[in-house]
Amino acid sequence: MKEYLLSSKGICSAFATVSTVFVLNLWVNPSLAADPFRTTEVRQIGGKTERAFNAIFKEGNYPAATRYVQEAVTSEPNEPLALAMKASLAYTSKDWSTLETYAKKTQSAAETLTAKDALRGNLYTAVGHFLEGAAILSREGALSGAPKALGKLRLVYEHLDKAEAISQTDPELNLLRGYMDLMLAVNLPFSSPEQGIERLKTHASPKYLAARGLALGYRDLSKYDEAIQAVNNAIQATPGNPELYYLKAQIQRKQGNSQKNQGLLKEAVQNFDKALASKGQLPASLARQIQRERDRTQAEVATVSR
């Protein structure tokens, strides 16, 4: 479960920025810039929140994101998305106290929002409970914290169902829930990522982050050709994000090992290197993880050749 909770993976990864079509639309109607998910029935989420959002999920620039998120929670303190991003960055830096504090703030702001926007209010109440579950697991460990975390998971889906009863096709809802479905499929027995994949394919937006989720789902189904196509779509839309090259390298490594294909493993090393070329944008722990995987893949090149 922790893999998907880390930075842009899991629920935190579910937050996204503007799709290419939406960016073009901003030239016509710049008042829409505060909603990174919708081109119709837009919400005024907040310009500073959107800037922070872009830094994390479009650019993969965590130092900039840290500054922008702090500005957002200060100037737009009632926007649950800003508070949730603050919690997600705290998780990345293993700041469990801040994670717990902003998980609760996310939930409180979302409950207040429900009075005027029941869909987003219930959606981010679910996110708040999910983040609280992450805080419990981080603080108490998987064994002792699991019963409490599972209780939170029931609340998560209770509020997601309420949001879905309002609109089954809302792009923000389908993006977040699609990523949650993928996380559960990886970490819980008798679950399948197919439902999450379908959500991301049909209604989730922005499309580049939906494509990123599809790449994760297809990777875990060992559908490597589909995974590569999906991650390439994400890279085409947001070529400056080093996390996407890391994901592509992971997929190529799995595919190369399954096919005993030295060429794919060499391409994986190249994409690990592309991610590491921008390691200053990434959390130090993630950069170290990428380096370890890169070095193991380089060793596997020689093994496959033998």
Q: How confident is the model at residue 2 (pLDDT cuts 50, 70, 90)?
A: very low
Give domain limits for the chain: 2-189, 241-306
Kindly report the backbone phi and psi dihedral angles of residue 60, in degrees, each rounded to the nearest multiple of 5, phi listed first. Answer: 65, 35
User: Is pLDDT at 144 greater than 50 in this prediction?
Assistant: yes
The pLDDT value recorded for residue 302 is 86
Integer Cα distance of 213 and 230 in angstroms: 8
Among candidate residues 43, 61, 44, the one with its CA nearest the CA of residue 52: 61
Mean pLDDT, rounded, of the chain:
87
Residue 43 gets the label, from left (phi > 0), alpha (psi -120 to 50) or beta, of beta
Place of tokens 């922070």: 52
Q: Exposed, middle or buried: residue 275 (CB in 10 Å: 0-12, 13-18, 19+)?
A: buried
The pLDDT value recorded for residue 18 is 30
Coil, helix or strand at residue 119: helix
The pLDDT value recorded for residue 189 is 65
Instruction: Please state, for a pLDDT cut of 70, what percent of the chain lies above it.
Output: 87
Q: What is the pLDDT of residues 60-119, one digit of tens each?
A: 999 999 999 999 999 999 999 999 999 999 999 999 999 999 999 999 999 999 999 999
Q: How confident is the model at residue 193 (pLDDT cuts 50, 70, 90)?
A: confident
Q: How far apart are the first and last CA of the chain?
A: 36
The pLDDT value recorded for residue 6 is 36
Integer Cα distance of 246 and 274 in angstroms: 8
Integer Cα distance of 161 and 122 in angstroms: 9
Q: How confident is the model at residue 49 (pLDDT cuts 50, 70, 90)?
A: very high
The pLDDT value recorded for residue 190 is 62
What pTM value is reported for the model?
0.85
Q: How confident is the model at residue 214 (pLDDT cuts 50, 70, 90)?
A: very high
Q: What is the mean pLDDT of residues 247-257?
A: 97
